[in-house]
Copies of this chain bind each other. A is one copy, B any other.
């Protein structure tokens, strides 16, 4: 068995650590839940942004997948993924790039919620000589983009796509509200709201004589809580691949499901203040303070030893660019452990998407603990 502590010692800190066994457990949990209902899971790669993760996350490695940037789509298409939805509203300027990715053999679909976008997709489809597929985005809870599920513009948009040179692929929604509520029952309510909105909109399109092959819903909280998938063809989710303190705070996972952490080194102390100072500041953790308004504020993260075991009541209370300040939680009476200069620690993050984005690679602790650490590249940018 390799000496994991010695392998960590060879890493420059701060460094991003991924626990493959926890990740595989998270992947299996949602695949089993959605699969047991006979529905397709379309994982979102916006969190992982990694071909190595995609290989483990996607059915036979080829899809279906969701992405948040065309850079993700390009990297995944190049790695053999063949079925992708780019789930951010499309702009006319991006359509030539979409067509290039499609031309390389990947069925990349776009998202839109206005006649102007539909016309741009039709125009590009004509000009570029291929029917670009588009899904219509629905707003099921007022959080972001999308049409109300009973908006007559749905049919207008559907006709523009279907009657023009493009392809009407279906409808898609995302329950942003599911991040604001806690517990399985509340998330199941959000899931039902997603489902109802999507099914209603699909019906309106079909009633108008339009096709709607894809009915896509999902978020990490709703995907885990959903029971009734009638009329839904696929479920999307992303951050569950790694999980994080925010998801633990709303009850979607436990702390020990969190597969992502930041390895850091103790660089100093302010003993009379009870502070331990490390080299993982907000540049490493990201500025995401998603738990700030949850029942338990986790600061910039929960402090663990180098093996990933949480240290009693220690959190990163504040951060500068390259300094993390560790202290006991407010109200804690736990003893401050001796953590001398040079000690390696691991910090569990508020938000896996934001923290992972601060790094260009994962240092992966393999499921097979007798194997050495692996390095998986991340892609970034747009």
Residues of A that sit less than 8 Å from B by CB: 9, 12-15, 46, 68-70, 88-94, 97, 112-114, 116-117, 120, 139, 142, 144-145, 176, 265-270, 273, 277, 279, 282-284, 286-289, 320-323, 325, 340-342, 351, 353-354, 357-360, 380-382
Contact residue among B14, B265, B268, B284 (Cβ-Cβ distance under 8 Å from A114) = B268
Instruction: Verify B88–A382 contact, CB threshold 8 A.
Output: no
Instruction: Verify B144–A342 contact, CB threshold 8 A.
Output: no
Instruction: Verify B354–A282 contact, CB threshold 8 A.
Output: yes
Known pairs A88-B323, A144-B325, A342-B91; A114 contacts B382 (CB<8 A): no
Instruction: Verify B357–A283 contact, CB threshold 8 A.
Output: yes
Query: A284: which B residues are within 8 A, CB to CB?
Result: 382
Instruction: Verify A321–B176 contact, CB threshold 8 A.
Output: no
What are 23 pairs between A and B in contact, CB < 8 Å? A12-B70, A13-B382, A68-B283, A68-B321, A68-B322, A88-B323, A89-B267, A89-B279, A90-B267, A91-B342, A92-B341, A92-B342, A93-B265, A113-B268, A114-B268, A114-B341, A144-B325, A145-B270, A145-B277, A283-B353, A283-B354, A286-B286, A360-B381
Name the residue on B nearest A9 (C-beta). Answer: B93
| Contacts A9-B93, A116-B340 known; 13 new A-B pairs at CB < 8 A | A12-B70, A13-B382, A15-B382, A46-B322, A91-B265, A120-B342, A139-B270, A144-B323, A144-B325, A176-B320, A283-B353, A283-B357, A360-B381
Q: How far is the CA of A138 from the CA of B114 in the complex (A)?
A: 58
Known pairs A114-B269, A114-B341; A13 contacts B282 (CB<8 A): no
A59–chain B nearest beta-carbon distance, Å: 24
Query: A13: which B residues are within 8 A, CB to CB?
Result: 91, 93, 382
A246–chain B nearest beta-carbon distance, Å: 12
Query: A93: which B residues are within 8 A, CB to CB?
Result: 9, 13, 265, 342
Instruction: Verify A381–B359 contact, CB threshold 8 A.
Output: yes
Instruction: Verify A88–B283 contact, CB threshold 8 A.
Output: no
Query: A176: which B residues are within 8 A, CB to CB?
Result: 320
Instruction: Verify B359–A358 contact, CB threshold 8 A.
Output: no
Name the residue on B nearest A381 (C-beta). Answer: B360
Most central of A144, A268, A359 by chain B CB within 10 Å: A268
Instruction: Verify A277–B341 contact, CB threshold 8 A.
Output: no
Instruction: Verify A341–B14 contact, CB threshold 8 A.
Output: no
Query: A14: which B residues are within 8 A, CB to CB?
Result: 382
A378–chain B nearest beta-carbon distance, Å: 11
Query: A15: which B residues are within 8 A, CB to CB?
Result: 382
- 7 closest residue pairs by CB, A with B: A89-B267, A287-B287, A287-B288, A89-B268, A116-B341, A68-B322, A88-B322
Instruction: Verify B382–A91 contact, CB threshold 8 A.
Output: no
A239–chain B nearest beta-carbon distance, Å: 10
Q: How far is the CA of A382 from the CA of B265 in the complex (A)?
A: 13
Contact residue among B88, B380, B382 (Cβ-Cβ distance under 8 Å from A267) = B88
Instruction: Verify A145–B323 contact, CB threshold 8 A.
Output: yes
Q: How far is the CA of A273 from the CA of B322 in the complex (A)?
A: 39
Name the residue on B nearest A70 (C-beta). Answer: B12
Name the residue on B nearest A269 (C-beta). Answer: B114
